Amino acid sequence: MDNLVPEDNCNERGLNILKKSLACTDQPVQTNASHVFVILGASGDLAKKKIYPTMWALYRDKLIPEDTKIVGYARSNLTMEDIKSKCEPFLKVKDENRSILKEFWTMNSYVRGQYDEKADFENLKQEMEKLEKADQDNNRIFYLALPPSVFKASASRIKETCMSARGWTRIIIEKPFGRDSESSEDLSQHLGRLFREDQLYRIDHYLGKEMVQNMMSIRFANQIFSRSWNRDSLACVVINFKEPFGTQGRGGYFDKFGIIRDICQNHLLQILSLASMDKPPTVRADDIRNEKVKILKLIPPVVVEDVVLGQYVGDPDAKEEEKRLGYKDDKGVPEDSVTPTYAACVLRINSERWEGVPFIMRAGKALNEKKAEIRFQFKDVPGNIFGQRPKRNELVLRVQPNEAIYCKMMNKAPGMSFTMEESELDLTYKDRYSDARLPEAYERLILDVFVGSQMNFVRSDELREAWRIFTPLLHELETRRQEPIPYKFGTRGPKEADELAQKNNFVYTGTYEWIYEDV
Ligand code: BG6
């Protein structure tokens, strides 16, 4: 396997990461190939906040071949200087890395063009050819950081004009992958006519987060957990996503989608499938994705009775101006909008392992804190012998902030007393792995694209199942124009969501809080 890695171009650390990733992929990383990374939508928000900073971090850490060239493409009349000044506030640059940054920008160029004009894509092709060497394989990656309206056209133009004649071509796309089963299928069909599945990398950036990636090890490398991962031991599973800010000027865009499409149908469902799937035969991408599809197929569509929706309103007493504004105050949001900014929904898995174990998703904007976590709540201990009833065990994977795994458990109060108290087994990353740098999700995922590992990307059949689960609900809510419950900016969301969780086996005692320092 070693000779498949571009040894000349990466340092040892990069090599090791590539080698490890190669264990999970069928695709060889080629030696002596040139790489061009094209960012379509280079003038946009995603490019400046995520993609350029990611390419910088990968370049700085020598994780991608050193001579990778980056070409920005967008409609605006921009120079590289403009791109640089847009991006630099988002790059994390230490003083000692200033010269590497200078070098990094020399690897970049910019081409102006429309997303549906063949002639403009011909220009892009010429630019790429200028950067490539004729006697080598030329690998090309296209990142479509584009609004959905130009998705299809630009994919067609890439296929017509920009495919590598010698080397591979890979396409990275970002949600929204449609807004329901039908529109998503239409997009999938279109892309499927142009590219093979192994050329398509559908990003769900939650799959690049440390704790989401850790789910495989936690579940399948620990006997203590694997034996209890089922309806015999677990009462319910809760997947929480909370943000302490509102739509912040993105309201016009958000209003067309809402929180179910923005968070539940993708990020939280991906977590759910990794948390509930059976053990794959190997860690190869398609073996894992087959298991994910299998579990998704066992989930019936979510019904409206299993859902609580909310929409935030301003808190007139808040100190910060942002919190005094509600969702409908955001520009672009219609006054009569019924788009939810909060959703709690219960999913059920019709399988021998999971029947009777509700999977409760809760996602909201403008809440009291930033948090994403997966909480496995165990059943009560049968045959209690103590005066006090033991509180339920919980295994929590905290995705962010401050990654941790902790297990809530009963413990004898230390000392003479024989009473019990709630305590925890605690694996807080910043204590246990204080020297580790956890890369940004996008860094891992874009590196995966270079390596050719599709393990952390969404396959078309997974996407189809995800939409099957949510589309009937979304259509019904839209037909009914169901009014979401108002909740104040900065609170926990509608109390009805807590009631829904309680009805679905979740016991909240309020007597225990895992203490952590925000970092
Ligand atoms: C995006 C959503 O996919 O994820 C945003 O569109 C959300 O609405 C974001 O804010 C959250 O990502 P993270 O990595 O900050 O938790």
For residue range 466-486, list pLDDT tens digits in order.
999 999 999 999 999 999 999
Q: What is the DSSP letter of 90?
A: G
pLDDT for res 31: 55
Q: In this structure, which residue's CA is closest to atom 15 in ligand 1?
A: 243
Helices in 143-180 by DSSP H: which ranges? 151-157
* pLDDT mean over 109-113: 97
State which ligand 1 atom lies nearest to the alpha carbon of 209.
14
* pLDDT mean over 63-80: 94
Mutate to test the pocket of ligand 1, among 241, 267, 402 (most ligand atoms within 8 A of CB): 267
Which residue has better confidence, 518 or 409?
409
pLDDT for res 454: 95
For every residue of 336-372, DSSP letters joined together read T----SEEEEEE---STTTTT--EEEEEESSBSS-EE
Q: In this structure, which residue's CA is closest to atom 10 in ligand 1?
A: 243
Mean pLDDT rounded to a whole number for the chain: 92
Residues with CB under 6 A from ligand 1: 205, 243, 262, 372
Size of the chain in residues: 519
% of the chain surpassing 90 pLDDT: 87
419 CA from centroid of ligand 1 (Å): 43
pLDDT at 207 over 50: yes
pLDDT at 519 over 50: no
For residue range 285-335, list pLDDT tens digits in order.
999 999 999 999 999 999 999 999 999 999 999 999 999 999 999 999 999
Q: In this structure, which residue's CA is closest to atom 5 in ligand 1?
A: 262
For residues 360 and 346, the answer to whether their CB atoms sit within 8 Å is yes
Residues ≥6 apart with Cβ < 8 Å to 498: 492, 508
Peptide bond connecting 401 to the previous residue in cis, omega within 30 degrees of 0: yes
pTM as predicted:
0.93
The set of catalytic residues is 267
State which ligand 1 atom lies nearest to the alpha carbon of 254.
8
pLDDT for res 32: 76
